[in-house]
Structure 1
Amino acid sequence: MRKKRKKNRGILIISFFIAIFAFYFFIPSHKNFISFHEDHNPSLSELFQQTKNKLSPINRFRNHLYSSNAILLNNTTGKILMEKKSEEKIYPASLTKIMSAIVVIEHITDLQKTIVLQPEMFHSLYAEDASMAGFQPNEKVSVMDLLYGALLPSGAEATIGLANYVSSSETEFVQLMNDKARELGMKHTHFTNATGLHDVNHYSSVRDIAKLLQYSLNNEVFRKIFTTERYSVSPTNQHPNGFTFENSMFKNIESNEFSSREIIGGKTGYTEEAGLCLASLAKKEGEEYILVTAGARGDHKTKQFNLLDALTVYNDL
């Protein structure tokens, strides 16, 4: 029995020395491992930064946005970088006017054509407290000026005036909008009006809106309007000196908040049911990015949480 115990002890001792030998001579990474911990010993902040740099935007941002729905894509490559409930139903509010504008641009050849804004359309818009650009009943305005009025200050009267010019009614114009949505593969979208005023049957998704914006930005006229901060309307019969309005997004953003990033265009939207929405375009190091968000809490009188989300995402690309 004693001989057997001595034999087992001898086997254990030999196994121990074999393990040490293998560790030092057959596992080359151990020296680097020891050197890293002896020579570097990183701080917690360094470890956090190393981890952060390995995470994709979807992991960094999606759970920390005010917006309930969001999508970020590289407009240069088409690659989706972040999604948050991107295909779920949203109410697009005035993001609707992106579709209205591109449909108008593609159906009117002469954008300098003058349109008379019919007085009757103003009554319902005033009653619904729709956002307005500042045009008046019976005002004679060019198509181009109305397009700026629809996209920059989100003017409902500009949008309806254009819709009635392209089609005999807003209802017929909406059919063109839905036809375009099907053409673009916007499978989660259905429009019932041209302005984005709330209707339970008027809905979309942030993925569909991003697809729409990506398409629309290929049109030079749309891109020029979408990326304009301020625009002056030519003199009209109701405004002999013309007047000026601003892009509703740019007027709420301090340009220096974007650091080295550059936001170059955007369209805001809001209804009580939709929350604060934003479709925006930014440029960094020669590449463009589209961010569409919806469902942020607040309203026009609170902090603009849709814009804060844009700052969060674009500043950390």
Structure 2
Amino acid sequence: MKCIDKLLSLLLVACLGLGLVSCGSESTDQTSYDLETTSYQYGITKVNNISDVSFYGSNLCVTDQDNFGIDQVDSQVAGAGGVFNLATGQCTYGQNLFGKMYPASTTKILTCLVAIEQADLDTQVTVSAHAADQTADSSVANLAEGDAMTLKDLLYGLMLRSGNDAAIAIAETIGGSEEGFAKLMNEKAAALGATHSHFVTPHGLHEDDHYTTVYDMYLIFQAAVQNETFLQIISTPSYDVSYTGADGQAKSQTWVSTNRYLNGKESAPAGFTVVGGKTGTTYEAGYCLVLYSYNDQNQPIISIVYNSDCTLNLYYLMNELLYTFGEAPS
């Protein structure tokens, strides 16, 4: 009987094996590895003991803590903040890092990055009536319907003057509409791991469904500062632009950065060199600043303050964060 049972077991295994082979022959996984191709070509092997694999997040500042270090600074003047040392991969300060925040015009960091990656900087952009039609209290680059300039010039109006008119003109040119461009923004944010954000507009004027987190904005900004064009733009204190009006006549103006470190209204702590960043202000978002700087050890630092109660406290807290948490570890 044991021999019969053993024979039946062997027959059952053989049948299962045939069944598995049969299932495999019915369909082909279109994303499967080609067995005729070496693993080296897929970048999943080692050569001279050095792996070619680059894991997502391996070069990022990672933390699972929402709040730390807040008792060492006057954190009560803001709703959220963070300090990230890109050289050491450390998040050295966290205040409501993963909480939902309204980004205001710091949104334009993502707008600028998407524009740089999606379009030729020499593209001619003509300002639409919709883009030029801004309310009196809106931050604008003073553009009029029919004004024409290159995308690169317009990006300076976006990032230095924080022009909402520039943001819409860029969005319409690249995305076909604000909604179309917002789709590109959300796709880029998701690709960078900023999965707790949702963007509705290219400028950041308040919408309930337009939000981010300090940590998500760090992820977006750290990708942006790796782009030389982006760095060139945000590090510029002022920009002289010449363009053509709707009547064909030459026009010009100067855009001055809203970043008080760049326009000379504020000074960073001793030992820190501010490269640039982006400001943002709405009633709902409060006063916001995303900053890129270097400490005295030449280590790149990203520091963020969201929802501060006034401009004075925004820069006061930013300086506290740099001085207390931006220094190189001893």
Mapping 1:53-92, distance limit 5 Å: 58=69, 61=72, 64-92=75-103
Instruction: Give the structure 1 partner of residue 302 of structure 2.
Output: 290
CA contact (8 A) 1:73 1:79 kept: yes
Instruction: Give the structure 2 partner of residue 13 of structure 1.
Output: none
Instruction: Give the structure 2 partner of residue 279 of structure 1.
Output: 290
CA contact (8 A) 2:73 2:321 kept: no
- Any idea what the Cα deviations from partners look like across 1:192-219, whole Å, max 9, x if unmatched? 1111010111111011001100011111
Mapping 1:113-192, distance limit 5 Å: 113-123=123-133, 125-126=134-135, 129-192=137-200
RMSD: 2.0
TM-score computed with the length of structure 2 as normaliser: 0.72
Q: Distance in 2 between matches of 1:85 and 1:62?
A: 14
**Cα–Cα, structure 1 residues 60 and 252, in superposed 2: closer, same or farther, change >3 Å?**
farther
Confirm whether residue 106 of structure 1 aligns to residue 114 of structure 2: no
| 1:293 Cα deviation after fit | 1.1
Range with bigger deviation, 113-122 or 183-192? 113-122
Q: Distance in 1 between matches of 2:272 and 2:73?
A: 20
Structure 1 regions of 5+ residues with no counterpart?
Answer: 1-56
3-state SS of paired residue (1:71): strand
| 1:59 Cα deviation after fit | 5.3
Give percent identity, aligned residues only: 30
3-state SS of paired residue (2:135): helix
Q: Distance in 2 between matches of 1:182 and 1:257?
A: 33
Residue of structure 2 aligned with 1:247, choices 251, 257, 261: 257
| 1:133 Cα deviation after fit | 1.3
Q: Distance in 1 between matches of 2:253 and 2:317?
A: 31
Residue type of the partner of 2:302? I
> How many residues matched?
254
Q: Distance in 2 between matches of 1:257 and 1:168?
A: 40
Instruction: Give the structure 2 partner of residue 261 of structure 1.
Output: 272
Structure 2 regions of 5+ residues with no counterpart?
Answer: 1-67
Q: Distance in 1 between matches of 2:70 and 2:82?
A: 13
| 1:120 Cα deviation after fit | 3.0
Q: Distance in 2 between matches of 1:193 and 1:184?
A: 19
Residue of structure 1 aligned with 2:217, choices 188, 204, 209: 209
| 1:257 Cα deviation after fit | 4.9
Q: Distance in 2 between matches of 1:256 and 1:203?
A: 30
- Any idea what the Cα deviations from partners look like across 1:26-61, whole Å, max 9, x if unmatched? xxxxxxxxxxxxxxxxxxxxxxxxxxxxxxx82564
**Cα–Cα, structure 1 residues 65 and 249, in superposed 2: closer, same or farther, change >3 Å?**
farther
| 1:75 Cα deviation after fit | 2.0
Residue of structure 2 aligned with 1:309, choices 299, 302, 317: 317
**Cα–Cα, structure 1 residues 278 and 101, in superposed 2: closer, same or farther, change >3 Å?**
same
Residue type of the partner of 2:126? V
**Cα–Cα, structure 1 residues 61 and 263, in superposed 2: closer, same or farther, change >3 Å?**
farther
**Cα–Cα, structure 1 residues 236 and 252, in superposed 2: closer, same or farther, change >3 Å?**
same
Residue type of the partner of 1:198? H
**Cα–Cα, structure 1 residues 61 and 230, in superposed 2: closer, same or farther, change >3 Å?**
farther
Q: Distance in 1 between matches of 2:193 and 2:255?
A: 33
Q: Distance in 2 between matches of 1:187 and 1:167?
A: 21
Q: Distance in 1 between matches of 2:199 and 2:270?
A: 37
